[in-house]
Each structure stands twice: as structure tokens, then as C-alpha cells.
Amino acid sequence: MTDANFYRLFETWLQLEPTDAVFELETGQTLTREWLHVLSGRYANALRRSGCVTGDRVAVQLEKSAHAFALYLACLRAGFCYLPMNTAYRPAELAYLLQDAQPAVLFTGLTAETLAAEIVPATTKAFTFGPQGEGTFAAIVQLVDPTYRTIDLTESAPAALLYTSGTTGRPKGALISHGALSYSAQTLSELWGFSASDVLLHTLPIFHSHGLFISFNVALASGARLLLQSKFDAADVLKALPRSTVFMGVPTYYHRLLSSPLLNSDRCRRVRLFVSGSAPLSADVHGQFEARTGHRILERYGSTEAMILCSNPLEGERKPSSVGLPIPLIRFVPQGDHPVDPQRWSVPAWFLRRSEHRSLAR
């Protein structure tokens, strides 16, 4: 199947209302869908000009910003494979990932130029990239046209490379397809009732699937607006909740919110959904949060390789200490059997490079 580029889901909303806001920043500034489209096109052209070709990997170790999101979308539009890396990784951890992934390009923050020079592979071009797009990459961006035609891709085309946590050995690179991103975003949008009227309060980091492929992608594919906060701060979240309809976080976030006397049902009156993932949420926190706000947190479960696998329902009973039921097209099978071959690639097709990494979909 052609024309399966994940970016097409955003282009649908872009064509409907290009001047609608996609981001609201902490300063109060709003950025439109058209702004994101033009900037991501410019970044895609700049990556092409730097020598990237379709299928190349682009490694990114950046703090969250609207410009960083535009860089992510530029990679998807141009058919590059996006590799997000934890901003807390030390040189040894970065060196392992870069040697394993062999990216064509590496983006780091403005203060990491010396560090990058020590660990970057000889075949990788390194650029610095600040929260406003400033840095060494900006010199190339200034030379290119903002107009870029998003390329057609098959569902199986690699969109991103995510590394597992390494709990059973060295981290493994799981290749995530465009079809998997689209399936996950569209399915979760439907399951969780997302629409263009939603406002997602986004406080998660964007170097893993929770903050990028789940929170951001679902909002983007639904035409929703994001209230973009650079990081989680309980006081800032409590100020923004009255303007939000959805909040996604990890259990630690809910612990911290409960520690504030300002958390109450009135402050959460506009919110329709609180989601928790990435770690187990205790039944105690689940109960305390409901008692304080009137909301039962929706828990879900996923993995690096497959993003979301299970979710509690939007409508119906949300059980504490339960991750819910498998999402559509996901079925659990006994050990030794092969997973179902989903028509829309809800799991990645392969692990990167290493022969001992078995395929998850055939």
C-alpha cells in the first residue's frame, strides 16, 4: 500500500483549518498547523541538503520544544527514520546507541557540541539545535525553500527507531513502521474519544513513545491542540488544568499532584480524561485521585516494541491496578507461537541489526 506516510493524518486537518492552533506555549503564544507544516517542510529540505536520503536514520537528543516536534515531523515527511534519545544519557550510553544505529545525522543541544565530537561515528554528521531551532543546523535551514512535498511510503516503511530499556541484556533497536504509528494514533483516538475540540496538556518528555508516539501523535491525528509545557511541574499543571480536556502522565505525576492542596474537582471541571502509563499506578493513588477530583484515571499498558497493547475503557469500569483489555487487532498467544499478523502493522516488523533479535511480525 502506498501513501501510508503517518504525516497524512495531520495533513487532513491542515487542509481543513490551516490557521487553527496546534501548540499553545508556556508564554501564551499559539502556533498554527500551517506554521508546523511550513517549518517541518523547511527542516525536511535542510536534511536533504545535508545529504540524508530516504531510509537514513536521524538521531536526536533534544529537550522538548515546538521546533523539536517540527524536526520529528520533517523526518516522517521525508522518509527518514527518527531515533529519539534520552537527554540524560551519559557518553557511554550514547556511544553504544550511535554505534549500533549508525545514524546519518545527529542532533544535540547547544551545549553538547564537544561531547558529540567525542562519540559521533565518523560517517555521522552532527548538528546543534536549540529550542528555537538555533544552532549549526540553522545555517542550512536558511538556504532552503519551505515548500516540501511529503513523500509516499508503504505501511511497512520504517518511521522510528526506539531502543528497549535493556532489562534482559543490551538495549535493542526496535524499528517502528509508519503503519504502526498510524494504527496506534487512530485506534487510541477512537478508544479514548479524541476530537478536534480536545486540548491535551503535554508535560511528558519526547524521547520515548509515551510523550511522542502516544500523546503527541494521538493529538496530532485528532486535530487537537496541545498545551506545551517543557517539563512536568505540579504547580504549572494545576494552573493549566482548567484550560485542558486531557492529561497524560506517569504515576509519579499523579503522586505529586495529590501532594498539592490546590487539586480538587473544580480545578478539573473541564478535564474529561486522565491517563496513566509507563509504570504501575497503585490502587491507593487511583482511589485518592478519584476522591479529590471525581475522575477515575484510565490506565493502559504498552511496550517499546508495540506502543499500546492494552487499555481500560473510556466508557465503563476502569479497574485500579489493571491495564484493561487488548486493543483491537492485538491478541496474546502462548509462548513459542507467532503473534497474529495484523493487517495494519500494530507491532514492529523487526529489530535492528542483531541476528539474535527475533522478528515480532512476519
Question: Which of 80-89, 277-286, 309-318, 319-328 shows the lowest mean pLDDT across its residues?
Answer: 319-328
Question: Which of 124-133, 136-145, 329-338 shows the lowest mean pLDDT across its residues?
Answer: 329-338
The DSSP 8-state label assigned to residue 97 in this structure reads: H
Out of 33-37, 117-121, 159-163, 315-319, give the one with best mean pLDDT. 33-37
Long-range CB contacts for residues 108-113, cutoff 8 Å, separation at least 24: 108/61, 108/62, 109/61, 109/62, 109/63, 110/134, 110/135, 112/61
Tens of pLDDT, residue by residue over 159-203, are 999 998 766 667 888 899 999 999 999 999 999 999 999 999 999
Is 310 in a helix, a strand, or coil?
strand
Out of 85-99, 192-206, 273-287, give the one with best mean pLDDT. 192-206
What is d(CA 275, CA 284) in angstroms, rounded to the nearest whole number? 16
Which residues are paired to 246 by β-bridges? 200, 273
**Is 60 exceeded by the pLDDT of residue 287?**
yes
Helices 283-293 and 251-258: crossing angle in degrees, nearest 10, is 50
**Is 80 exceeded by the pLDDT of residue 308?**
yes
Of residues 169 and 70, more confidence is placed in 70
Count of beta carbons in the 10 Å neighbourhood of residue 359: 12
Query: Which residue, among 55, 48, 44, 34, has the nearest Cα to 77 in the 3D structure?
Result: 44
Q: Which residues 6+ apart lie within 8 Å of 48 measured at CB?
A: 78, 144
What is d(CA 320, CA 328) in angstroms, rounded to the nearest whole number? 22
CA-to-CA separations, 83 to 76, 178, 220, 269, 311, in angstroms, rounded: 11, 14, 19, 38, 26
Grid cell for residue 217: 501523535
What is d(CA 249, CA 228) in angstroms, rounded to the nearest whole number? 13
Cα 306–chain centre separation: 13
13-28: average pLDDT: 97
**Is 90 exceeded by the pLDDT of residue 329?**
no
Grid cell for residue 155: 505501511
Query: Which residue, among 231, 232, 197, 194, has the nearest Cα to 214 in the 3D structure?
Result: 194
Long-range CB contacts for residues 106-109, cutoff 8 Å, separation at least 24: 106/58, 106/59, 106/60, 106/61, 107/58, 107/59, 107/60, 107/61, 107/62, 107/71, 107/137, 108/61, 108/62, 109/61, 109/62, 109/63
**In this predicted structure, what is the pLDDT of residue 275?**
96
- Mean pLDDT across the chain: 89
**Is 50 exceeded by the pLDDT of residue 344?**
no
Residue 357 pLDDT class (50, 70, 90 cuts): very low
Contact, 176 vs 307, CB < 8 A?
yes
Could you give the strand order of the β-sheet that contains 125-128, starting from the edge strand earlier in sequence?
125-128, 105-108, 57-61, 81-84, 158-163, 173-177, 350-351
